[in-house]
Structure 1
Amino acid sequence: MPSRPLLRLHSSRPRSLSLLPLAMIHSSTSRLPHHLPQNQTEYTTQAITYHDRTKHSLTSGYARGPGRLDWANQPNPFLRFVPSSSLPLLHPTTPLSPHYPSIYNSFPSSSLPLSLSSLSSLLYYSLSLSAWKTTAFSTWSLRVNPSSGNLHPTECHILSPPLPDSPYNASPFLSHYSPKDHSLEIRAVVPPNLKLPIPSDSLIAIFSSIFWREAWKYGERALRYCNHDVGHAIAALAISAAALGWDAKLLDSLSHSELEALLGVTKTYPPLPEPLPTKLIRGNLPWVEAQHPDCALVLFPANTDFTVDYPALREFVKGLPDLEWVGKPNSLSKDHVCWDVIYHTAEAIKKPGDDNLFSVNPFHKSGLISEKLYKDFTVYEVVRKRRSAVDMDRVHLMERETFYQILLHCLPSGEVGLGEKQGRNFAMPFRVLDWDAEVHLALFVHRVKGLEKGLYFLVRNEDHFDSLKKAMRSEFEWVRPDKCPAGLPLYRLAKGDCQDLAKQLSCTQDIASDGCFSLGMVARFEPVLHEKGAWMYPRLFWETGVIGQVLYLEAHAVGISATGIGCYFDDSVHEVLGLKGRDFQSLYHFTVGGPVIDKRIMSLPAYPGPGIDA
């Protein structure tokens, strides 16, 4: 007779994990550390307040949003600077790149030199359009990098040394990437008296967010989604770079004001009002469309002794506001809504500069069970095939080895030696990040052949294991599942059918229950903010976005699909896991499975041809 499961997850009201009713908000006394400056303590409190305020609740409702969509003011998804010189990028015709799983094992033996051609490939396989979709009623574009609601708040700018095969072969330049026509809009040319302090075979990419694009649909919760998208973009760029033989690393010692200088923000946008609004306001508010600098990445030939001289880079940045910045941004909407809490929180989470030295972690390959688990796709084919599934088929059954393989590629440290633990970011693409892993995966397994249905947990930083186990339900099993690879810290917490539970947690969305598995990304939260500062708040979301990008690519590489889920009942997830207070918080959900294809929607090429505006 089979043993009785510890928790009956399949029940509509499971005894131990019942969601009706729930004590939705766990109070906790904010611990104010003495080692942070007073203003950083206040900023951390603001970040935590925002996070609590923007939780969706099963009992008290959703975070504050618009209620209805004002279609007349839907933001333009394409930012343009007019007038500015346009540098058309090349459209690769022979997409030669490594076989997909090999990208996790090593960099190519040689890196392509930096040129207009290689820069074109970098952006084409990370941030460009991947297709146009059309029905009888509307037409819209898709991109290589995913975005919540396909709203794309993330913009990319490039600081490049002279490109030998381009008109800009004599001077460095700053540009904005335009995905609609796959081109660079030249914003400023660097004069000879301002020396670019990075080698000629490297470049810097700067990401920024336009909050209004997400807030138009999602209201106050939009700041979370913008930072999910930044994480996806970081991973997309790092993986595309790796296929060229380039490594990538955040320049995370730069301050927010230095990132503003790299974007020419003060020369381009009206300043934020002083004081900031303290309530929701509507009207023609051009400053709502301003870009918020997020981060900068340096890309450089892999396997080289590469470093960045931060003092020299800071001196360079000081001269950028004096450049002649060309072009004004197009208006994205006629009218706007200012969700005041977003802008107060964005001010609080700005990162100050620091004196940390630039360093690149050694490369660790990821665990590989068998390349036969994957379709015969190259890296480039996978990234351009990526789509977000709208529905799952409730049929596809995943092999247990495929499930384990996907999770192996979600580990930050890759393969580790005897006695070593997961936690440091050595593996692709997590090595781009500048901190140790803070995010873990709570998995709802629905349709994995040879694996019992139930609740599982992947510990991505094993230094957190004891605190996680102590914080979660005492009745959880913490048992290693059958045939689990030795280097995969995966544990079964409870047996049982959890399809209804997964659906209920993800705002009652069927897609969370109809795939092979779904998950919630659980981050060490309040302790991180108190240890480091409020500026870690968006970085926790970036980490979830990087994990999400791996899940997207892994799903497509094995022939199925995936979708990020931003709508979930935050504290209901914590209740299921037994988490109280704010030491750990769920920041992003995901689902992986067999997609349902809507045959009513027609696909068109991303770039139909010269002179054709799709």
Structure 2
Amino acid sequence: MENATDAVLNYHQRTKHQLNAYAKGPESLDWDDQPNPFRRFKGCETVTLATPGVELDCLFADLDKPEMITPQPFNLDKLGLLLELSFGLSAWKQFGPDRWALRCNPSSGNLHPTEAYLVCTNAELLQPGVYHYVSHDHHLERRATFDPSAGEPACYIGLSSIHWREAWKYGERAFRYCQHDIGHALAALSYAAACLGWSIKLIGEAGDADLAHWLGLDRQEDFVAHEREAPDLFCRLHTGNTSHNPFNAEQLAPLYATARWFGQAERLSGRHFYRWPIIDEVAVSAEKPPTAVERKEMPVLPLPAPSRNLPASGLIRQRRSAQHFNGKADSLPLADFQRIMLALLPNAKPPFTAWNWSPQIHMLLFVHRVDGLEPGLYFLPREARDVATLKQAFSKDFIWQAVDAPFEFYRLVAGNVRQAAKTLSCHQPIASDSAFSLGMLARFSENIAAKAWRYRRLFWESGLLGQILYLEAEAAGIRGTGIGCFFDDAVHGVLGLQDSNWQSLYHFTLGTPLDDRRLETLPAYAHLLK
């Protein structure tokens, strides 16, 4: 029988895009049966949250020193604002009769497999229980109630994935994208909490079975068979007046002994024409058991001010994924580029304050148009200890020329790399028309061999870094977009990698966007005001 490590490694190899073949996906898209992007539970009471759209005084640069931000009062209105800035709608787009929503947390293909839950034991805030956040309606659905006398007051947020939503379009590779999106969502939550002067602590030691129990995901009778949710992350919310006592899972046991559950998930699709059993198999192999507590102390790394120091809440709401870039735009100022690079390094600021582990991912950059930088292939190490190892693993043709910068940075190859960037990213011009694009190179087989579930954590880290790039791009007056489609082994071939010790997990690109004027942009929550 295949062990968990082999199953995960085989899944990853099987779902690689190759220059002569793409990973298995649907032969056609059943647009009439696209999964509903908004999960709702019928039979639940709802809790109305304050009207979204409130702007906060906190500027984006203030998030570089979160300890200096005055905490907002901890009440239901501010909690609703946290959920909006993390998972809520940011706008609607319309083209002819077609209309679709954008959200503050990005998602591969705008399919949004991530669901958010609130577990509240603070009777002064809400009736203690489990709540599901509905971004479309900006309200909470009460899934369970607890005896208010059990447990200490606390507030937790859990994240889960509906793999079917992503697999409908992307087939077998969808499990990867769901994990990316969890990383994006965790970072979005961390940024949003910091805007309010709060913080998020990731309970990384919790096991998936416990998460499923706490969020009600193990109640299989409440879900359509092929639309169940997989547990991913569990975080504790810390505000100006909440306890910082260490988390103890046993504290939740008395609560759930008194739980009364309500509601059933509404069907997302009328039919499931394609089935992808490999996703269910890798999900089982990558299940996480309870583990020892891990906490990574992040260094304090000063950052230069962003060139567009906008209110952080406004910048979060304006985040978009660029669809096209202006390949003839002016070069990106060097100061903006350097701020973006510094923001990717571990730092005692969001979203790294919600991350418990040492960096496992480094950046391979295709630089096209950045002031003061010769076009070429570059390398940004996020952990200095790995540089010697990577010099041995990479092609001997690379020059490893140190670049004068306020961080460790190397030029590997000088010259025009636009065509290479485009080809490697599934022939997409967004990788070559931008100011620069990049690939996220992860310490791979060593992690999977140690613990198979770390496979998911590598993608979470890449998604977290992607969210940094999204917001830093907005603060630089440009725009970014994640690239999930790339030719995995071709990237490794360019680098000269001979084994699976290092693997590229996510690509990204940043530049001056070309807006499609045929698209109409509509307010996020106008439908709630009618």
TM-score by length of 1: 0.83
Task: Give the 5 Å matches for 1:558-597.
Answer: 558-597=476-515
Does residue 291 (structure 1) correspond to residue 225 (structure 2)? The answer is no
- C-alpha distance 130-309 of structure 1, shift in aligned 2 (>3 A): closer
* 1:376 aligned residue: 309
Taking the aligned partners of 2:12 and 2:236, their CA distance within structure 1 comes to: 30
What SS does the corresponding residue of 1:266 show, helix, strand or coil?
coil
Taking the aligned partners of 1:528 and 1:83, their CA distance within structure 2 comes to: 43
Unaligned runs of 5+ in 2: none
Does residue 472 (structure 1) correspond to residue 410 (structure 2)? The answer is no
What SS does the corresponding residue of 2:218 show, helix, strand or coil?
helix
Taking the aligned partners of 2:222 and 2:50, their CA distance within structure 1 comes to: 34
Does residue 495 (structure 1) correspond to residue 414 (structure 2)? The answer is yes
| Conserved? CA contact 2:119–2:215, under 8 Å | no
| Conserved? CA contact 2:166–2:178, under 8 Å | yes
What SS does the corresponding residue of 2:66 show, helix, strand or coil?
coil
| Conserved? CA contact 2:222–2:263, under 8 Å | no
* 2:459 aligned residue: 541
* 2:439 aligned residue: 520
| Conserved? CA contact 2:129–2:259, under 8 Å | no
Does residue 189 (structure 1) correspond to residue 139 (structure 2)? The answer is no
Say which structure is richer in helix.
2
Task: Give the 5 Å matches for 1:395-406.
Answer: 395-396=328-329, 397-406=331-340
Once the two structures are superposed, residues 271-324 of structure 1 have per-residue CA deviations (whole angstroms, 9 ceiling, x without a partner) of: 9xxxxxxxxxxxxxx3110011111011213799823232xx235247527622
| Conserved? CA contact 1:47–1:537, under 8 Å | yes
Once the two structures are superposed, residues 187-213 of structure 1 have per-residue CA deviations (whole angstroms, 9 ceiling, x without a partner) of: 1111145324xxx3x421100000000
* 1:257 aligned residue: 209
What SS does the corresponding residue of 2:219 show, helix, strand or coil?
helix
Instruction: For residue 114 of structure 1, report the CA deviation from its aligned partner.
Output: 2.1
Taking the aligned partners of 1:240 and 1:210, their CA distance within structure 2 comes to: 23
- C-alpha distance 610-219 of structure 1, shift in aligned 2 (>3 A): closer
| Conserved? CA contact 1:521–1:587, under 8 Å | yes
* 1:320 aligned residue: 256
* 1:4 aligned residue: none
Taking the aligned partners of 2:435 and 2:15, their CA distance within structure 1 comes to: 29
- 271, 277, 288: which is aligned to 1:340? 277
- C-alpha distance 575-610 of structure 1, shift in aligned 2 (>3 A): closer
Identity %: 41
What SS does the corresponding residue of 1:475 show, helix, strand or coil?
coil
- C-alpha distance 243-163 of structure 1, shift in aligned 2 (>3 A): farther
Task: Give the 5 Å matches for 1:11-410.
Answer: 42-59=3-20, 61-92=21-52, 94-162=54-122, 164=124, 168=126, 171-192=127-148, 194-196=150-152, 200=153, 202-269=154-221, 286-301=224-239, 306-310=244-248, 313-317=249-253, 320=256, 323-336=259-272, 337-354=274-291, 356-357=292-293, 359=295, 362=297, 364-369=299-304, 371=305, 373-396=306-329, 397-410=331-344
Instruction: For residue 107 of structure 1, report the CA deviation from its aligned partner.
Output: 2.7
| Conserved? CA contact 2:430–2:509, under 8 Å | yes
Task: Give the 5 Å matches for 1:410-489.
Answer: 410-412=344-346, 414=347, 426-482=348-404, 484-485=405-406, 488-489=407-408
TM-score by length of 2: 0.95
| Conserved? CA contact 2:92–2:102, under 8 Å | yes
Once the two structures are superposed, residues 575-613 of structure 1 have per-residue CA deviations (whole angstroms, 9 ceiling, x without a partner) of: 01111111000000000000000011111111114464x
Instruction: For residue 163 of structure 1, report the CA deviation from its aligned partner.
Output: 5.6
Once the two structures are superposed, residues 344-390 of structure 1 have per-residue CA deviations (whole angstroms, 9 ceiling, x without a partner) of: 00001111112x2475x556443323x2x421301111100000000
| Conserved? CA contact 1:261–1:321, under 8 Å | no
Higher mean Cα deviation, 495-504 or 603-612?
A: 603-612
Once the two structures are superposed, residues 149-192 of structure 1 have per-residue CA deviations (whole angstroms, 9 ceiling, x without a partner) of: 0000000000123363x6x3xx4221000000111111111114
Aligned length: 528
What SS does the corresponding residue of 2:386 show, helix, strand or coil?
helix
Taking the aligned partners of 1:109 and 1:430, their CA distance within structure 2 comes to: 17
Higher mean Cα deviation, 95-104 or 48-57?
A: 95-104
Taking the aligned partners of 2:62 and 2:385, their CA distance within structure 1 comes to: 29
| Conserved? CA contact 2:74–2:241, under 8 Å | no
- C-alpha distance 571-400 of structure 1, shift in aligned 2 (>3 A): same
Does residue 604 (structure 1) correspond to residue 528 (structure 2)? The answer is no
- C-alpha distance 110-270 of structure 1, shift in aligned 2 (>3 A): closer
What SS does the corresponding residue of 1:259 show, helix, strand or coil?
helix
Taking the aligned partners of 2:462 and 2:43, their CA distance within structure 1 comes to: 37
| Conserved? CA contact 2:63–2:349, under 8 Å | no
Instruction: For residue 538 of structure 1, report the CA deviation from its aligned partner.
Output: 0.6
Match of 2:192, as an amino acid?
A: S
- C-alpha distance 594-321 of structure 1, shift in aligned 2 (>3 A): farther
Taking the aligned partners of 2:247 and 2:13, their CA distance within structure 1 comes to: 39
Higher mean Cα deviation, 179-188 or 259-268?
A: 259-268
Instruction: For residue 73 of structure 1, report the CA deviation from its aligned partner.
Output: 1.8
Unaligned runs of 5+ in 1: 1-38, 272-285, 415-425
Taking the aligned partners of 2:221 and 2:257, their CA distance within structure 1 comes to: 13
Higher mean Cα deviation, 248-257 or 586-595?
A: 248-257
Taking the aligned partners of 1:400 and 1:152, their CA distance within structure 2 comes to: 34
Q: How big is the alpha-carbon RMSD for the aligned residues of Structure 1 and Structure 2?
A: 2.0
Rg bigger for which structure?
Answer: 1
What SS does the corresponding residue of 1:398 show, helix, strand or coil?
coil
